[in-house]
Structure 1
Amino acid sequence: MSLHALAVLSLLAGSPQQALPQQPPAAQAQEPATDLGEVTIEGRRLAGMARDFVGEIAAPAQRRGLARWRGDICVGVANLESERAQYVADRISTVAEDLGLSPGQPGCRANILVVFADDGQALAAALVDHNRRAFHLGVSGLDRGGEALERFAASIRPVRWWQVSLPVDRDTRERAVRLPGDLSPPVTTVRGVSRLNSQVVDELNKTIVIVDVDLVAGADIVQLADYVAMVSLAQVDPDADTTGFDTVLNVFSDPGSAPGLTPWDWSYLHALYGSERMRQNPGSIAGEVADGLARSRRSSDEAE
């Protein structure tokens, strides 16, 4: 196994630590009638597309809710020329900061690791083969499972990613799941009973992204950095079919489709990083995505 792959593994092996506008009052008889049918149809169509978009891209760990980062993130970029590596790290950190997160200081231990490789599939396979436990801890509900890990290691993709999340106490951020090696199970104190908010929530713990430099040649560094930001900060299904949506996730199939993160992407991220209730109810995320898109369209219309 290469020294490069071993170095990557050393960073992975640590313990997991407004509603849509309503119709205006009917016009007076002497004024020209206003046909509002298209507004209603567009609103319903947008809401349906938002549900489809969320349903297509969201990929939580097995039998768990959608996870997100909380608090600090630390981005590391390996095997890329320093100026471009800094741009990728800064862009991910900037997007994270916009979502309320705190980028780590220089020298922090990376929990988002982006590795550029001449052969992404070979590197992924070597990493998984050398230390599978760094990716799959053997506890259900922390990742997407063994079959997904095999696809991560074996598939041919411009960019591949793997994430580990942890159920934690919402207030204390203590682990709420027993991991291999624990002498006793963690204890979570229930401080209130609610059907809308759970005491236990899911937090992203680490993400590794492997970029195959030969397969991303059609995208520029701006598009690539935004793509990596999207899949680093949210649990995105690598097999999602996003051809019907305006998203940076289409950048490798159609490089001209998106200059970077689109209003769809931003609306999804802001919904994900909204209330805890949003993450436990994908339908709420879809509704907030639709509202965000409607606000974006109104802002664009006003600017014009």
Structure 2
Amino acid sequence: MIALLLAGALLSAADPYTASVPFAAAPNQDAAAATAPQDAPLRLEDVTVTGRPLDSLIRDFVSEVAEPNPRRGLARWSGDICVGVANLRAEAAQYLADRVSTVAEDLGLDPGQPGCTPTIMIVATGDGGELARTLVEERRRAFRMGGSGMDRGGVALADFRDADRPVRWWQVSMPVDSETGLRATRIPGECRDACLDPVDYAPQINVFAASRLRTQIVDNIFRTIVIVDVDDVAQLSIQQLADYIAMVTLAQINPDADTSAYSSILNVFDDPESSPHLTDWDLAYLGGLYAAERNHLNRRANRTEVAASIRRAHERVREDEDAATDD
């Protein structure tokens, strides 16, 4: 149970805001295959393929792939991240860690240095379902810490444990005060000072503005575990696997999303030849998420921010194409 022991570095971390990265590598199986040519169903720059307005396509894409925690806004990482990889050969493990870190850095995050404590832990195994069941059974508190809005709930955890997927992931996020970075939810058993007064058990928030439209509370991801079933990813190239993992770890992605109408790395297991890497749709979505202010009380408004950023990315693609044509 090498993978279980290596994953413990992530799952036993007491402070959700410690960060950084060893690239653990135990000899096992390589995730490798041939990279296929790009022939996507709907590229970001395609406007007339389906006859639907681009804005409608963008809104539908965001609605399909985004899966925030119940009654919470879209979460993302903030500040440092740290990628750890367990149970793969050193070369493959290093590539996965480096690629995810590079995508994160492009979004404005700060990848940890070698030796940091992983906040994103990628574990390769020959039986993803068995490892997921063992981790959930033995370390359930690491998956469901008990604070309001911190995870997707018990039904989703059962799906993570039991569903048959080549790659499965679980994220824990934290509502925080955007001004101070302090937690805005109480974790059961946690208190301040003497733990005698009820206020000692409440989160400490410095209210700086009162508004019916905006909030100072945002949601930050602070822990992700990814389980890769090596037998089920053998048809992918190492870049395809790395880019898929980057997409599902840097955002809250619906594991059951139907993105077949779009050019997206999320289609890689259904159609590997059409998904050689992160696409314009994927990069625009991630860029929109990390550019959004996320301070709207209306969660739909936060999604609208992301959609607007994807629209701007589309316009940049068009401008680049027009400039190339003129030349």
* TM bucket normalised to smaller: 0.7 to 0.9
User: Structure 1's 253 and 245: CA in aligned 2 closer, same or farther, altered over 3 A?
Assistant: same
User: Structure 1's 65 and 261: CA in aligned 2 closer, same or farther, altered over 3 A?
Assistant: same
Q: Secondary structure at the match of 2:291?
A: coil
User: Normalising by the residue count of structure 2, what TM-score does the alignment of the two structures yield?
Assistant: 0.82
Contact 2:175–2:220 at 8 Å: present in 1 too?
yes
CA distance in 2, matches of 1:197, 1:102: 28
Which position in structure 1 is the counterpart of 2:194?
none
Contact 2:65–2:254 at 8 Å: present in 1 too?
yes
CA distance in 1, matches of 2:153, 2:13: 19
Which position in structure 2 is the counterpart of 1:166?
174
Matched AA of 1:12: L
CA distance in 2, matches of 1:294, 1:278: 25
Q: Deviations over 1:135-184 (max 9, x none)?
A: 01123311110000001000111110000000011021111110022122
Contact 1:9–1:134 at 8 Å: present in 2 too?
no
Contact 2:214–2:295 at 8 Å: present in 1 too?
no
CA distance in 2, matches of 1:58, 1:197: 21
CA distance in 2, matches of 1:294, 1:240: 25
Q: Give the number of the structure with larger relative contact order, counting CA–CA contacts within 8 Å between residues 6 or more apart.
A: 2
Quote the offset at 1:3 in angstroms: 4.8
Note the aligned Cα RMSD (angstroms). Answer: 2.1
User: Structure 1's 108 and 81: CA in aligned 2 closer, same or farther, altered over 3 A?
Assistant: same
Quote the offset at 1:294 in angstroms: 2.8
Contact 1:113–1:208 at 8 Å: present in 2 too?
yes
1:287 paired with 2:308, answer: yes
Structure 1 unpaired stretches of 5+:
18-37
User: Structure 1's 41 and 76: CA in aligned 2 closer, same or farther, altered over 3 A?
Assistant: closer
CA distance in 2, matches of 1:202, 1:243: 29
The number of equivalent residue pairs is: 283
Structure 2 unpaired stretches of 5+:
18-45, 192-200
CA distance in 2, matches of 1:202, 1:250: 27
Matched AA of 1:112: I
CA distance in 1, matches of 2:235, 2:115: 32
CA distance in 2, matches of 1:160, 1:173: 29
Which position in structure 1 is the counterpart of 2:104?
96
Which position in structure 1 is the counterpart of 2:8?
9
Q: Which runs of structure 2 are paired with 1:39-78 in the superposition (5 Å)?
A: 45-78=53-86
Contact 1:166–1:177 at 8 Å: present in 2 too?
yes
1:151 corresponds to which of 159, 177, 188: 159
Contact 1:197–1:276 at 8 Å: present in 2 too?
no
User: Normalising by the residue count of structure 1, what TM-score does the alignment of the two structures yield?
Assistant: 0.88
Percent of residue pairs bearing the same amino acid type: 54
Q: Which moved more, 1:198-207 or 1:6-15?
A: 6-15
